[in-house]
Each structure stands twice: as structure tokens, then as C-alpha cells.
């Protein structure tokens, strides 16, 4: 599943193509990809999905992306496990045209064709949420998220961890604790902070929470600069894969030597998710 670095890199690669563009038409190929369709009729679906709006902002919170127009209409996009947002210049074709569920056709304010934005999601765990305003998005969807992982304060992190007896790895996967961290970057941050993922979250000390918050911010920032981690489906707006998977020190490396101490890395399951750590470096 794309996590914060992948979505932030996607936002940065999409922005030059989308900001300032007018959404001339919208094609929704699957109605069930619009997660709140109860008040959306066939005639209104285009407007709810930003038709005739000029895109002014691409925002992100955790793993979620929002496209906002000049009249404050907002579409929130979650890529789920396999979702992609791909930009096509005029005349350019998508590498894959199957499983495309929504397409936005873009123009300049003067009417010149600028290309298309396509939402593709083979496994359909992702989706679109349409809101009348950015404030409505925050109230109904983003308010339930914890601090964004890129700037999570150590004090807030420790306070959230202190409220649960779950393993610290399981707590980090909870988007109400810290928004944007998933399985990949939880393993990487815990490794960098030298914290055992099985530790009870409420036992993490203030000093350890500071180490962990610093590690989370560092890992996420570096992953963004590398374009994120492409394991299977993820590509950015230009169709390019991320390279941070080449730098993983823990995630996906069970049974391999620790790059810090050469001890064999241990693989277990926490909260039904594969977890990798070093028993020597993360006692």
C-alpha cells in the first residue's frame, strides 16, 4: 500500500500538471469507486468530481491526497493497495488501460487541451470521496487522523502511544496515532530508533519517543526524495517507480544479515502484518 512518501511524491509530481488546469469533463467508469454516492445522481456526478472547476491546490494528509478547485470543491483520493494516479499529456497513452475507474479531462483556462488524469486501481481497495469544501473534508475525514508523519512531535507521539497497550509496531500502523506510516516505514523507523517492535506502546519512554519521532521524520523525508518505495504497483504521476526500496534496512529482509551488526534479521507477525527487526540492534 502506498504510504506517506509515495503520496507526497505523487503530489509533487502531479502539481505541475494539475494546478491551474480546468477540469472540462469527468468520466466515472465505476460508480462504486465513489465511496459516498448516496447523494450523487448521474447528472451531478461530474460536478461533484470537480467538472468546470479550476484546480488550485493539491493537499495531502497521511496517505490521502486531495484535489481542490477555486470554488473549494474537493475530491479526496485514497490509493488503497494498488491504486495509481497517472497523468497523460495530449496524445499520450497510458501504459495500462485496464482497471481505470475515473478520468479527468483537463484544459487551460483558454480552452487548450492539457491532457488527462486517470485513477487506476486493479484491486479496488482505494476510492474517491467528494466534498463541497476543504473544511468538510477535514471535518468528515481528516479530523480522525493523527499528526502527519512528516512533522509528528515527540510529545504528541508519546501521548498517543501511552494510551494503548498494543505492540508499538501495531500502534504505529494506526492512522489515528500518526498519519502516513504503514508497514514499510514502521519497520524502518523502529530499526533506526533501535526499538523492538513487540514492546508495549505504553512502555515507550519520553526519550525513546523522541528517538522514534525523529526516526519517523527522517525516514519519511528520505523516502520522499527517493520517489518512495515501489514494491509492486506504485508509480508516480509520470509513471516512474520509486527507488527507496533499495535502501530498506529492515522491511522485507527477514533472514538476511543486519546491515548494522550482521545478525540475521528476524521475521514475525504483529497485527497480522509481516514485521522484520534485529534482535541485537532492537533488544
**Over 190-235, what HEC string results?**
HHHHCCCCCCEHHHCCHHHHHHHHHHHHHHHHHHHHCCCECCCCCC
Measuring CA to CA, which residue among 182, 208, 196 is closest to residue 273? 182
Q: Are 56 and 141 in contact (CB under 8 A)?
A: no
> What residues act catalytically?
2-3, 63, 273
* Helix, strand or coil, per DSSP, at residue 177: coil
166 DSSP assignment: S
Spatial distance between the Cα atoms of 263 and 160, rounded to a whole number of angstroms: 32
Angle among Cα 169, 171, 172 to the nearest 5 degrees reads: 65
* Helix, strand or coil, per DSSP, at residue 176: coil
Spatial distance between the Cα atoms of 279 and 194, rounded to a whole number of angstroms: 10
CA 158 to chain centre: 23
Residue 259 CA: distances (Å) to CA of 34, 148, 184, 191: 44, 29, 17, 11
Amino acid at each position: 500500500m502506498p504510504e506517506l512518501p509515495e503520496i507526497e511524491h505523487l503530489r509533487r509530481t502531479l502539481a505541475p500538471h494539475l494546478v491551474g488546469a480546468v477540469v472540462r469533463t469527468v468520466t466515472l467508469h465505476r460508480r462504486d469507486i465513489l465511496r459516498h454516492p448516496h447523494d450523487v445522481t448521474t447528472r451531478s456526478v461530474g460536478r461533484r468530481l470537480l467538472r468546470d472547476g479550476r484546480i488550485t491546490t493539491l493537499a495531502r494528509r497521511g496517505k490521502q491526497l486531495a484535489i481542490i478547485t477555486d470554488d473549494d470543491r474537493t475530491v479526496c483520493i485514497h490509493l488503497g493497495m494498488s491504486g495509481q494516479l497517472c497523468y497523460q499529456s495530449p496524445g499520450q497513452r497510458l501504459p495500462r488501460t485496464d482497471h481505470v475507474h475515473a478520468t479527468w479531462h483537463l484544459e487551460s483556462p483558454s480552452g487548450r487541451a492539457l491532457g488527462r488524469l486517470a485513477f487506476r486501481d486493479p484491486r479496488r481497495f482505494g476510492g474517491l470521496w467528494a466534498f463541497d469544501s476543504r473544511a468538510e473534508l477535514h471535518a468528515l475525514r481528516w479530523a480522525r487522523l493523527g499528526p502527519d508523519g512528516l512533522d509528528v512531535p515527540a510529545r504528541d507521539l508519546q501521548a498517543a502511544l501511552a494510551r494503548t497497550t498494543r505492540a508499538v509496531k501495531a500502534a504505529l500502523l494506526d492512522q489515528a496515532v500518526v498519519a502516513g506510516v504503514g508497514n514499510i516505514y514502521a519497520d524502518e523507523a523502529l530499526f533506526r530508533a533501535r526499538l523492538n517492535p513487540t514492546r508495549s506502546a505504553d512502555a515507550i519512554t519520553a526519550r525513546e519517543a523522541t528517538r522514534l519521532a525523529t526516526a519517523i521524520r527522517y525516514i519519511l523525508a528520505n523516502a520522499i526524495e527517493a520517489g518512495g518505495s515501489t514494491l509492486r504497483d506504485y508509480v508516480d504521476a509520470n509513471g516512474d517507480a520509486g527507488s527507496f526500496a533499495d535502501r530498506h534496512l529492515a522491511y522485507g529482509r527477514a533472514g538476511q544479515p543486519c546491515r548494522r551488526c550482521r545478525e540475521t534479521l528476524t521475521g514475525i507477525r504483529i497485527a497480522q502484518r509481516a514485521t522484520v527487526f534485529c534482535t541485537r540492534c532492537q533488544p
